[in-house]
């Protein structure tokens, strides 16, 4: 009898173990896949931020080019008027105007008094004509130079408009791809939630295990808890933590919404440290720090060139603005397989 009871208990234990394994394994696999997809979104957000920055720069360049073209057009028109005016004046004006009030080259010669006076007048006329010719040539050369600049500026403007259109096309494509990945994340999260509910309804053991899995999942995605910081870099970390919960916003650079690099830039600007706008550029400043020597306040980067950046807070964790739909939070550094280095900028 005892053997039968023992056999039944063992069989039941094995069954429960098997059932839990079947349920837990897909859940863990889905959690890993969700984390991978979230990192894809994070990377896409970085690419979108970069494209938005490029488009913004394109717009500024196009605006400046438009001003340059308008100025060149006005200068060319002014030059044309100057040439017309000078031509009219030079056809009448000669040095004799200032001497005898005569108003043409011909009148200077016709009014000459004797041969020597004629020679002198012809010489004067020659000098005036040469001067007039020089002035006219300079004006025409200036006009041609401006026209050449205008052609070059027009070509440059066309290229900038085409580049802006190309970047906008890339942006639309990237946003479309990101929307697909976000849909996959939501689908996986829905399935995970369904599995957790089934697990909780099955046994107290699986419920406990599911609770641990849920806790682990939350840890992988970060939290809003305050992490005590060391004295070194503590002021930076403390200030950064004051923005916990601020929503992620593409191109965000203020407490109303941050993207990853905008958050880091804003925090360090508060301490008088100027940083570039995007993560890949921020990766190029400061002093490199080995992972084993990280201190609170160091910048931590992911992917190379960097597509994401955060601020190390100590205890193997960092604070960052992760991705669309998320908020500024603290996450563990250890689970990031795409970690690519750290920089100390203070």
229 and 191 inside one domain? no
3-state secondary structure of 171: helix
For residue 320, being part of any structural domain is answered with: yes
For residue 215, being part of any structural domain is answered with: no
Query: Does pLDDT of 204 surpass 80?
Result: no
Is residue 309 within a helix (H) or strand (E), and if so which, with residue range? strand 308-314
Alpha helices, H only, the chain: 2-92, 95-99, 105-110, 115-202, 204-221, 234-241, 260-269, 279-282
How many residues does the structure list for the chain? Answer: 346
How many CB atoms sit inside 10 A of residue 5's CB? 9
The CATH number assigned to the domain holding 54 equals: 1.10.287
Instruction: For residue range 100-119, list pLDDT tens digits in order.
Output: 444 455 565 566 666 666 56
Look at the block and give the residue holding tokens 């100057």: 82
Interatomic CA distance for residues 337 and 163, integer angstroms: 34
Looking at residue 28, its pLDDT comes to: 61
Look at the block and give the residue holding tokens 């160091």: 298
Instruction: For residue range 249-295, list pLDDT tens digits in order.
Output: 988 999 999 999 999 999 999 999 999 988 999 999 999 999 999 99
78 and 170 inside one domain? yes
For residue 216, being part of any structural domain is answered with: no
Question: Can you give the residue range of the structural domain that contains 325?
Answer: 222-344
- Look up residue 42 and give its two tokens: 């994070």
Instruction: For residue range 61-87, list pLDDT tens digits in order.
Output: 999 988 888 888 888 888 888 777 777
For residue 23, being part of any structural domain is answered with: yes
User: Rounded mean pLDDT of the chain?
Assistant: 76
Which positions ≥6 away from 177 have C-beta within 8 Å? 44
Query: Does pLDDT of 217 surpass 70?
Result: no
| Among candidate residues 155, 154, 164, 159, the one with its CA nearest the CA of residue 69 | 154
The CATH number assigned to the domain holding 304 equals: 3.90.1720.10
- Look up residue 147 and give its two tokens: 């026209």
For residue 214, being part of any structural domain is answered with: no
More reliable by pLDDT, 3 or 35: 35
Look at the alpha carbons of 202, 203, 209, 214 in this order and tell me if their dihedral is positive or negative. Answer: positive
pLDDT band at 214; cut points 50, 70, 90 = very low
**Cis amide leading into 168 (omega within 30):** no
146 and 30 inside one domain? yes
Looking at residue 211, its pLDDT comes to: 46
52 and 199 inside one domain? yes
Interatomic CA distance for residues 282 and 294, integer angstroms: 17
Instruction: For residue range 301-314, list pLDDT tens digits in order.
Output: 998 889 899 999 99
Phi (first) and psi of residue 146, to 5 degrees: -65, -35
15-52 as b/e: b if 16+ CB within 10 A? eeeeebeebbeebeebbeebbebbbbbbbbbbbbbbbb
Counting the structural domains of the chain, the total is 2
165 and 96 inside one domain? yes
275 and 337 inside one domain? yes
Interatomic CA distance for residues 173 and 184, integer angstroms: 17
pLDDT band at 42; cut points 50, 70, 90 = confident
Interatomic CA distance for residues 194 and 200, integer angstroms: 10
Which of 148, 177, 205 terminates a domain? The answer is 205
Look at the block and give the residue holding tokens 């006329």: 125
For residue 211, being part of any structural domain is answered with: no
């Amino acid at each position: 009898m005892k053997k039968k009871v023992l056999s039944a208990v063992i069989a039941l234990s094995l069954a429960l173990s098997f059932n839990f394994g079947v349920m837990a394994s897909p859940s863990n696999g889905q959690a890993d896949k969700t984390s991978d997809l979230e990192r894809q979104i994070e990377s896409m957000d970085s690419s979108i931020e970069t494209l938005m920055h490029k488009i913004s720069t394109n717009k500024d360049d196009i605006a400046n080019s438009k001003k340059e073209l308008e100025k060149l057009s006005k200068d060319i028109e002014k030059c044309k008027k100057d040439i017309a005016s000078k031509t009219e004046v030079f056809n009448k004006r000669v040095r004799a105007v200032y001497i005898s009030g005569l108003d043409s080259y011909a009148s200077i010669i016709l009014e000459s008094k004797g041969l020597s006076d004629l020679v002198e007048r012809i010489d004067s006329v020659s000098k005036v004509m040469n001067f007039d010719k020089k002035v006219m040539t300079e004006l025409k050369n200036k006009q041609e130079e401006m026209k050449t600049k205008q052609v070059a500026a027009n070509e440059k403007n066309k290229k900038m408009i085409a580049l802006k259109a190309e970047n906008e096309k890339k942006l639309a494509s990237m946003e479309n791809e990101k929307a697909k990945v976000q849909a996959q994340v939501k689908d996986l999260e829905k399935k995970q939630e369904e599995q957790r509910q089934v697990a909780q309804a099955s046994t107290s053991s699986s419920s406990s295990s599911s609770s641990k899995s849920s806790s682990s999942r939350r840890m992988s995605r970060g939290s809003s808890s305050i992490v005590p910081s060391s004295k070194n870099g503590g002021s930076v970390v403390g200030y950064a933590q004051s923005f916990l919960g601020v929503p992620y916003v593409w191109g965000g650079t203020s407490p109303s919404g941050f993207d990853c690099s905008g958050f880091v830039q804003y925090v360090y600007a508060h301490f008088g440290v100027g940083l570039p706008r995007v993560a890949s550029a921020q990766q190029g400043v400061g002093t490199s720090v080995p992972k084993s020597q990280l201190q609170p306040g160091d910048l931590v980067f992911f992917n190379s060139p960097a597509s994401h950046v955060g601020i190390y807070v100590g205890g193997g964790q960092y604070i960052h603005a992760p991705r669309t739909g998320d908020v500024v939070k603290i996450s563990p550094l250890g689970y990031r397989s795409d970690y690519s280095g750290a920089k100390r900028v203070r």
